[in-house]
Amino acid sequence: MTHYGNEIVAELDYLRIPAMERKKGISKILLNLNLQQYEVMGVSKIKLEAALSNGGLVWAKAFFVATEPEDVKIILVKAENELSAEQFKFVKRVYDNYYNQNPGGKAFPMSKWSQLAGMDQILQGSRWYGELDLSNSDILTKFKNYVA
């Protein structure tokens, strides 16, 4: 836990589920328990580095936003190189819409990319810094539904 003035921020350093135990809902159970504790403690934000084998995709689906534009750009370039032109145009549209409205933005909606065709493979191998704003009731509800 880190305190920034009146704000309490949890840093999720490591969540690794052995390959044989994946896709059994274990990570969602653990995240749900973490969330319950975070709420009791008054945590307003969760920060992490999305990495490891599936982390980039998992955290994107869990509504974490990317906080570093450089990380997002690296993923965009990978998508351009590996996706078809038809798939990439939708990826690029999400990117352009966000950064045109939020130049230098620090809350890129990775969940939008996670819903696009072909992006599951791109995000699975990605590495990015992100956060989840628990003080945003819409995001909190989405995260609770995700880990339920």
- What's the pLDDT at 1? 64
Residues of the chain with pLDDT under 50: none
For the stretch 60-70, pLDDT in tens is 999 999 999 99
Sheet holding 7-12, edge to edge: 2-4, 7-12, 45-50, 128-133, 65-66
- What's the pLDDT at 137? 96
pTM of the model: 0.90
Number of domains, the chain: 1
> If you ran DSSP here, which 8-state letter would residue 21 be given?
G
d(CA 141, CA 3): 24
For the stretch 11-21, pLDDT in tens is 988 777 777 77
Beta bridge partners of 50: 128
- What's the pLDDT at 21? 75
Q: Which distant-in-sequence residues (6+ apart) come within 8 Å of 96 by Cβ?
A: none
* Domain limits for position 127: 2-147
Query: Is the Cβ–Cβ distance between 113 and 130 less than 8 Å?
Result: no
Closest CA to 19 of 50, 54, 51: 54
Q: Which distant-in-sequence residues (6+ apart) come within 8 Å of 7 by Cβ?
A: 44, 45
